Amino acid sequence: MFGICSSTNSTTGGNSSTSAVPTTITSSISQPTANSSSTVSSSMNISTTASSMPASTSASSSASSTSTPASAPSYSYAPTSSASATPSASPSGSPGSSEPSSQYTQFTGTGATSEGWPEQSKWVAFDTLFEMNRAIMQGSCVQFHVANDTDSEINDIKSAISSVSKSSGSNGCLRAPKTTSVDGIVNPGLLQTFQGSAMCNSGSATAPADVKTPCPASTIKSMIEQGTMGTTPGGMSLTYALKQSGATDVSKYYKAARIYNSGLIASSGLLQDGVATHCYASDIANRLLGWSLGPSKCTLNSF
């Protein structure tokens, strides 16, 4: 669930307090997307690289959330279709399933269910999804040369997600290091929050600093609050990303995931296009269906 990544662009700010974030979305957004890579700096998950840090935003910018920034790198890749391929097998984590799954379906397109993206009714319940990923969180910090999360700390994460979800309407490493975007924005903590202040490690991946063990429950809650609701007006957060998605159906969550990762959706409207991690939205959709074992089978990051 939780992890770090790198941002590659800046986007417009906006009111970040108008959209409610389901606990399941908060949990899955904070999970790292396995077998993904950042376009600017590498970040690791328990078995491979990951990219899940929110892109930086600027209140002074006036770019649309569906347009590609002028500074974004160009790619030669061009999708052959705006619709996703029809899955050859049932997606992982069917409703009611309590077993972790290694099944993965690569989703492409705009996030519409007509393209194969999952209905919200297909998502695994929050409590079940969280427990599916507990073992991953228990071993998530070794990559950063700091103590792994304890059961007590993991329980504090779960409590904080539930609490913040009610108030708002890394592989889970609480001591994940802060990262810095290409435009100098510091993103610390569990959700790699845009301009966040809550953290239990103020150092880098190779040089931990001011590491807190255990990570206080109040700091855990602050990290989730800041990532969900934002730290500044117009700063990147999950609620801001949901608003910027412009959608009212379930696609808003998949679009919000892409916005949270890269700052905006490419002008094509396709969630695999643009900057940062091309597999991000697909990985999040699979997390919501119960995928928690093995690397991502997404191939969209390979170009």
The alpha carbon of residue 223 and the mean position of all alpha carbons in its chain are separated, in whole angstroms, by 14
Residue 39: pLDDT band (50, 70, 90) is very low
| The two structure tokens encoding residue 297 | 């089978």
Domain ranges of the chain: 1-303
pLDDT of residue 302: 76
Q: Is 214 exposed, middle or buried (CB count within 10 Å of its CB: 0-12, 13-18, 19+)?
A: middle
Residue 193 has pLDDT above 80, yes or no: yes
Q: What percentage of residues in the chain have a pLDDT greater than 90? A: 42
Residue 49 has pLDDT above 90, yes or no: no
| Mean pLDDT across 215-224 | 94
pLDDT of residue 293: 82
- The residue that leads in pLDDT, 204 or 117, is 117
Residue 37 has pLDDT above 60, yes or no: no
Residue 58 has pLDDT above 50, yes or no: no
